[in-house]
Structure formats: structure tokens, C-alpha cells
Amino acid sequence: MKQILYFSGTWCGPCKMFKPKMEELKLEGLPIQFIDVDQQPDMAQQYGIRNVPTTVFVNNGVETNRVIGVKSKEEILSLYNM
């Protein structure tokens, strides 16, 4: 099962710009899990998150890709569909 883990922080300027795009993608049907690094530090540590926003692509529990920073909706869709 494919999943997208979106790591962000409420204090992060780029995260505030990127989150609406990720929310749109979720409404379009992508399985996105929003993770606040301050609220879920264990998840951030488990995935070695050092910068936010970070988007981690997972397939059957295995990380297949990750991107750091703000990306276009098209880039996220492309990586998800790989």
C-alpha cells in the first residue's frame, strides 16, 4: 500500500506555503498523513527528519523516495506514481 508522510511544523514558513497543496492532493484522493514534528517527535526520529517540510513516500512500509522543501503538486503526483 502506497502512502505519503508529510512532515512539517506549525512554526515553519515554507510548510505554511506547502500545506495547502498537500491538503488539495489529499482531497483528490492521495493517501497523505500529516505529521507535525513537534507533536510526533517519535515519527520524525524514526524517519530521520532533519528539515521541514519533508515528504516521504512509502510503499508497503518501505521508503521509496523523499523530497525536502516545497514542491509542485505535479512533482508530488509524479513521485507518488513511480
Active site residues: 12, 15
Beta bridge partners of 7: 35, 54
**Distance from C-alpha of 57 to C-alpha of 66, rounded to nearest angstrom:** 6
* CA-based end-to-end distance of the chain: 13
> Pairing relation of β-strands 54-59 and 2-8?
antiparallel
